[in-house]
Amino acid sequence: MAFGTSSKVFVATIEYQFEGGTLNLSTNTLKIALYDDTTTPDATVALANTAYNVGQWTSANEVSDSTEWPATGQALDSVTSGIASNVYTLDAANEVSDGTSATLADVRGCLIYDDTVSDYGLCFLSFGGAQAVTDGTFTVNFAGTGILTMTV
């Protein structure tokens, strides 16, 4: 099992939204949780299995620091959600661990999920390899193209 190198949007979450789902990404609390290499993400799982602490996203696979990147993850700040030129984009400010003494090991990727509605997952991002900090600061720099995009 491995986190792999792909970053995907959950298909079931898109379907849920199309069918009247209640993920208001502009106002809901979104979180980012970190995971190790025992996680095997799959973008095609059922909606329930996209959620935090379910299936592959079990807290047993999560990487956390007791105070500076706690289990269940960090809330995203300055979230933006909108469509321009037929492209939907979700974005947020870069996420930085709280404080300067976090210790995190073997971080392979993250789950972005809706903490307001059933912890449903939106997408997962692969970091491309093992990341770690010791007594330091862990920062996730989101791309200029956003956390997730959907082209229609």
Partner 1 sequence: MIRRWRCVECGRTDVTNDDGTGARYHTCPKMRGLSVPFMLEGVKAKLVLHEREDYIGDEMVQLDPERHRPVMSIETVRDHGQDVIVFAPTARAIGRS
**Residues in touch with partner 1 (CB under 8 A):** 5-9, 11, 14, 96, 101, 107, 110, 112, 123-129, 131-152
C-beta of 9 vs 23, nearer to partner 1: 9
In angstroms, what is the minimal distance from the CB of 145 to partner 1?
Answer: 4
Q: How many CB atoms lie within 10 A of CB 96?
A: 17
In angstroms, what is the minimal distance from the CB of 3 to partner 1?
Answer: 11
C-beta of 27 vs 151, nearer to partner 1: 151
C-beta of 48 vs 143, nearer to partner 1: 143
Q: Which residues contact 73 (CB under 8 A, 6 or more apart)?
A: 31, 32, 33, 34, 52, 62, 64, 110, 111, 113
Structure tokens that stand for 79 in this block: 């979230």
CB 39 within 8 A of CB 109: yes
